[in-house]
Amino acid sequence: MSEDRTGARPTPAARTSPPWSARAGIGTRDRADAHCHLDALSPEELASGLEGARAAGIGLLVTVAMDVETSTRAVQIAEAEDGVYAGVGLHPWLAQDHPDGPPVDALRDLARSGRVVAIGEIGLDFVGNSWRNLSYEDPELRRIQEAAFRRQLQLAQELELPVILHSRGAHEPTTRILAEEEMGRLGGCVQFQDGSAADVERYTELNFTFSIGSSVTYPDPGGWHDAVRAVPDHALLLETDAPWLPYDGSGRSRSVPADLTVVADTVARIRGTDADSVFATAAANLRRALPRIG
């Protein structure tokens, strides 16, 4: 999950129990959104968002979660909609709500659904966020995050599932913990919002792919686009993080899955290729990274 460029988390629409039913396929399978938050949409927004995705040819979406409540909604949506799969997990921003450890029993139960393809969104965030008004300079908050991260990696191994990572300002401890917990066998996807070419190399050695989203459309004074260019073709994924961070110049406060086309165009330009090739490569990589998709 991303914050907007001011560091604030957008306000989600009111949520209700999902009454969705249209199990019609969502376009083709050569365009895939590796990381979105469909649970944050109202029923009307969900229907509109999936219709827009279908019109844009997006045939696969992975809706990831932040806690048990959003994990439950993610599974419900995935079970109701063809082409949608779910990740379940406790986000590092919410780890401090569970100082005694993440709710692994509830997550394990949810992961029994055949529509769950990963444990996530999990990981480490040492940047902080204005949504919870927290600074992760506090060593106790970092300790709680790391403990929750390790426990969920162990759950992923127990369930033979890859993981979907959130890592900001914490690539060194994230990759160190992944190595210590021997996650290279299962691998997964890292939501790639910052970092360097050296970080790309470390994650790649651990069998991880990189989902690149709307952050790539913004000006790049720090040289992050060099890291985007360094991502190997076999490890490239695309995401929107919808409904959060919209692309630069959209004029909107929220994003939609169809914005993946803008992300693909931008990634193609940065990497010196074409959007169709980026789409096809990213979709094939997602199916390999999350084998339960099939």
| Binding site, annotated residues | 35, 37, 121, 166, 241
Sign of CA dihedral 215, 129, 235, 161: negative
Instruction: For residues 145 and 91, give the distance between their C-alpha atoms in angstroms, rounded to a whole number.
Output: 9
CA 74 to chain centre: 13
DSSP-H helix ranges across the chain: 43-55, 68-80, 104-110, 139-159, 171-180, 197-205, 224-230, 260-271, 275-289
Instruction: Provide the token pair at 191.
Output: 């939501």
Any residues with CB less than 8 A from the CB of 272 and at least 6 apart, and which? none
Residue ranges of the binding site for a divalent metal cation: 35, 37, 121, 166, 241
Buried b (16+ CB within 10 A) or exposed e, 25-55: ebbebbbbbbbbbbbbbeeebbeebbebbbe
